Amino acid sequence: MKSNDRVVIITGGSRGLGLALTSDLLAQGGYRIATCSRQRTMEIDNLEKAHAEAGAFFWAKCQIGVEQEEAAFFDRVIDWAGQDTLYGLVNNSAITGEGILASFPNVDSARILGVNLMSALRLCRLALRLMLQRGVGGRIINISSIVGSRGYTGLAAYSASKAGLDGLTRSLAREVGRRGITVNSVAPGYLQTALSAGLNHQQRKQIINRTPVGRLGSVTDVVPLIRFLLSPEACFITGQILVVDGGLSC
């Protein structure tokens, strides 16, 4: 391992934005990436084969939203990376569920809030303890959504979880800024990922028509911003909710 390699934990790195970000940072160099997902995928196998010799990639099975599994995953990352090496955390794992709140099951709402918000809070706490002990700063990036500030019919629980994530971002930025740790949210618009797969044709058409650039986003539209926020050059940006939505919310 190079002395300047930065260890970053990315949750949900087996597909979508998490996979794109993991692949990008490994390709850029200068990072060691630890990620988790509920199931091993072919993409994870390929990343392990490509980066095993350099020791730059670590994956473990973990169900985000289950506190014991999160803690166990974190311990395994530290065993792999070393106690004093954690530089960044990207809270990317999320689930959604669509339905009018009046008929939406409480158990589903609780699960969405648990995975999208409470797990992020717990992982932030675990990461911050190490970053503060390390004493040389760090980066936390929470993957939010424009529905956290604008809402969307049928996504009350999901919107609430993302609004809470943005509140967590702002508060933590105030708590740890003087220690060189930045905390930001990246709020994508509607991306062509599994989370938007539930949109029907009419919904997609409406969103595209309302978006100034005239299309849904892709993960490649979001990755460069996250990469920048992880970099040393972003040391004066903190407590921000940075929107990447093709102008939909302007």
C-alpha 71/C-alpha 60 separation (Å) is 12
Catalytic residues: 158
Helix, coil or strand: residue 43:
helix
According to DSSP, the β-strands at 57-61 and 31-37 are parallel
Q: CA angle at residue 249 from 90 to 219, to 5 degrees?
A: 40
| SS3 call for 189 | coil
Question: CA-CA distances (angstroms) from residue 169 to 23, 42, 133, 223, 241?
Answer: 25, 33, 20, 19, 8
